[in-house]
Structure 1
Amino acid sequence: MVHGALVSVSNFGSNPTSLQMNIYVPTKLATKPAVILAWHGCSGSGPMYASMTNYTSNGLQPFGLVRFMPHSAHDNNCWDVASNKTLTHEGGGDSNGLANMIRYTISKYEADPEKLFVTGSSSGAMMTNVLCAIYPDLFTARSGYSGVAAGCLAGSPGSSPASADPACANGQHIKTQQQWVSQVKAMYPSYNETYPRMQVWHGTADTLIHYLNLGEEIKEWSGLLDVTWSKNNTHTPQSAYTQMVYGDGTKFVAYSAVGVGHTVPVHEDVDLKWFGIQ
């Protein structure tokens, strides 16, 4: 394994949908390192998302983190967040292969199972929701940019703009909080523990994945985490952004970005603080 560069790994375990694992291991690895997993959007790739964000930057070297940016090469390079296989625990879809990458990383690098963090944009944000719904025991916290609620695309013929039922992206799948919670729990019915801490972002001017989807994500995850709205912090973390705090703010927060389209720019510093890394 080459350290200090993003490299491909092929022997991480069962890979039912032929995903590509790309991993970055620092030259100086921490003892029981934390892991950040970052998923690209449609038409993207793992290396492309690494270059677009600072998750593999030298500035993170002192933390000794393992980071990986996998790659989906099907359905316009979108992650499958629609099929029954991927929306079922150990069901043999994209989510199953990604979970196996995570398990490999924990074992290979003796990573801290209490410090596994996931993030992504657009299709990658959709997959972060799906993974935290179907494999909640694998993750500590997540941050997703401009996605949809886990299960929003269930039953769609595909997950890309070209193949998907547009009703989800258009914000037409409006459900009650209990309906979302029940749908997620049905994906992994034997799981009765807590779900990962959540941070979600969406722009009010998003014309690809309608802003209404932020409300559905909020209903889903505030319900799963059993928290209610407590306050808004305006101009946070910057002008025109509002942070919506649920409960005491340690389990779930949402960010609304006025005038921002698709996708909300990645806020790595905010993510790292949410993850407890800096």
Structure 2
Amino acid sequence: MLDKPMQDQRLIEIARFGSNPGSLKAWLFLPSIMAPNTPLVVALHGCTQTAEGYAAGSGWSQLAERRGFAVLYPEQQRSNNANLCFNWFEPGDIRRDAGEVLSIRKMIGHLVQMQGIDPERIFVTGLSAGGAMANVMLATYPDIFAGGALIGGLPYGTAVTVGEAFERMQGRNPPDAAKLQSTLKGASKHAGRWPTVSIWHGTHDQTVRPSNAEQVVTQWSGVHALGEVSRTETINGHTRKVWLDARGREAVETWSIQGMGHGVPLAASGDEPIGKAGPYMLEAGISSTVRIARSWKLATDADVREAEAGGSTDGRKSQDGTASIIERALRYARPRENATGAAPDGKIAKVINDALRAAGLMK
């Protein structure tokens, strides 16, 4: 059941999505024009944040509207954690088919069934405790996700108490490589293809030390059978490293964001920004949201250029972005409130006009 639109954000609360042992809330963004087999991004907020705030700051809903994918925002409750952190270290919440991870899994299953989500294109991302919980989801349900992205996150299963959680956040007493890898592999009985992992961390992060990013690489290098780094490059002053698997796929990547502290890296000062700078939403001259989406084939090179360089000179969307909007309007003519079939004839013109206005081609 969907009800209770959130003010100003077009998020809809999923009031009932199945069993909810983790006592989480679920908020959903659906784009105005939604194709059959729509991809889904699960976006997990950080401590002290809400689904609404994370949606506005990170820009995931904004990009989803442009590119036609859905975004699920699970939300923590103070009754579970006083600081609104997902419980990425509590044994009862990070075990497959239990606690908070099962709640999120039930949300996803509900959307696949009720909204026609493509089960082959489900992704998860998050910041801080949300980044750590994104890694928990990848570890416990690798059969569900095609890829994941951790921002200021931590390895899976390295802490089981609050004290240990703070130690790991500060980079103290981490498990060795063998333990990191065995913990991940033991989280499920998965025998298929493993999800890709994108890891983002500020070089000056004092909340979750950058050494955690290195540990996440070590953890995932086991299941992906990775060797030495395959490529290192500098982009917008930041360092990207890539590890290729045996098939030549970019299985793991890291982004080291120069001079940044703890937060989501944004390019929020351009003419066409995705997201909005604020607490833990940090201007870094690079859009993690758009680049992560592009790595999942949910966004284009043109989206990256537009987000990071201020967009086209005439103030309109790029030609590629405009074409995408119009193409989706003409092909599907499917408004979000009618998720089970094509739009009635009376609504097709409105859907197309809305798309043209979004593209800057109508007023």
Per the normalisation by structure 2, the TM-score is 0.70
Residues 152 and 173, structure 1, Cα contact 8 Å, conserved in 2: no
1:60-118 superposed Cα distances (whole Å, 9 cap, x missing partner):
33532111111101321000111222221112x11110111111111111111111011
User: Which residue does 1:119 correspond to in 2?
Assistant: 125
Residues 87 and 130, structure 1, Cα contact 8 Å, conserved in 2: yes
Residues 30 and 63, structure 1, Cα contact 8 Å, conserved in 2: no
Gaps of 5+ in 1: 158-162
> Residues 114-263 of structure 1: matches in 2 within 5 Å?
114-153=120-159, 155-157=160-162, 165-188=165-188, 190-236=189-235, 238-239=236-237, 241-247=238-244, 248=248, 250-263=250-263
Fraction of identical pairs, as percent: 24
- Aligned-partner Cα distance in 2 for 1:204–1:222: 22
Distance apart, 1:263 and its partner CA: 1.9
Distance apart, 1:273 and its partner CA: 1.0
- Aligned-partner Cα distance in 2 for 1:96–1:217: 22
- Aligned-partner Cα distance in 2 for 1:54–1:165: 29
Which letter does structure 2 place at the counterpart of 1:198? V
Distance change (3 Å), C-alpha of 1:27 and 1:264: closer
Residues 229 and 242, structure 2, Cα contact 8 Å, conserved in 1: yes
SS in 2 for 1:8: strand
1:117-166 superposed Cα distances (whole Å, 9 cap, x missing partner):
1111111100110000001111111111111001122x114xxxxx7642
Distance apart, 1:195 and its partner CA: 1.9
- Aligned-partner Cα distance in 2 for 1:102–1:88: 17
State yes or no: 1:100 paired with 2:109: no
1:23-54 superposed Cα distances (whole Å, 9 cap, x missing partner):
01122211110001100000001111001011
Residues 113 and 138, structure 1, Cα contact 8 Å, conserved in 2: yes
SS in 1 for 2:149: strand
Residues 22 and 93, structure 2, Cα contact 8 Å, conserved in 1: no
User: Which residue does 2:289 correspond to in 1?
Assistant: 268
> Residues 51-130 of structure 1: matches in 2 within 5 Å?
51-57=56-62, 59-73=63-77, 74-75=80-81, 76-91=83-98, 93-130=99-136
Distance apart, 1:235 and its partner CA: 2.1
State yes or no: 1:8 paired with 2:13: yes
Per the normalisation by structure 1, the TM-score is 0.90
Report the RMSD for the aligned CA atoms in angstroms: 1.8
- Aligned-partner Cα distance in 2 for 1:44–1:142: 20
Distance apart, 1:249 and its partner CA: 5.3
Aligned residues: 267
Which has more radius of gyration?
2
- Aligned-partner Cα distance in 1 for 2:19–2:173: 33
- Aligned-partner Cα distance in 2 for 1:27–1:263: 29
Residues 176 and 219, structure 1, Cα contact 8 Å, conserved in 2: no
SS in 2 for 1:103: helix
> Which structure's residues are more often helix, by fraction?
2
Distance apart, 1:264 and its partner CA: 4.2
Distance change (3 Å), C-alpha of 1:7 and 1:164: farther
- Aligned-partner Cα distance in 1 for 2:139–2:173: 18
> Residues 1-40 of structure 1: matches in 2 within 5 Å?
1=2, 5-40=10-45
SS in 2 for 1:137: coil
Residues 26 and 107, structure 2, Cα contact 8 Å, conserved in 1: yes
- Aligned-partner Cα distance in 2 for 1:137–1:208: 31
Distance apart, 1:193 and its partner CA: 2.0
Distance apart, 1:169 and its partner CA: 0.6
- Aligned-partner Cα distance in 1 for 2:66–2:259: 36
Distance apart, 1:184 and its partner CA: 1.5
- Aligned-partner Cα distance in 2 for 1:264–1:232: 24
User: Which residue does 2:311 correspond to in 1?
Assistant: none
Which letter does structure 2 place at the counterpart of 1:56? S
Residues 200 and 257, structure 2, Cα contact 8 Å, conserved in 1: yes
- Aligned-partner Cα distance in 1 for 2:122–2:202: 26
SS in 2 for 1:112: strand
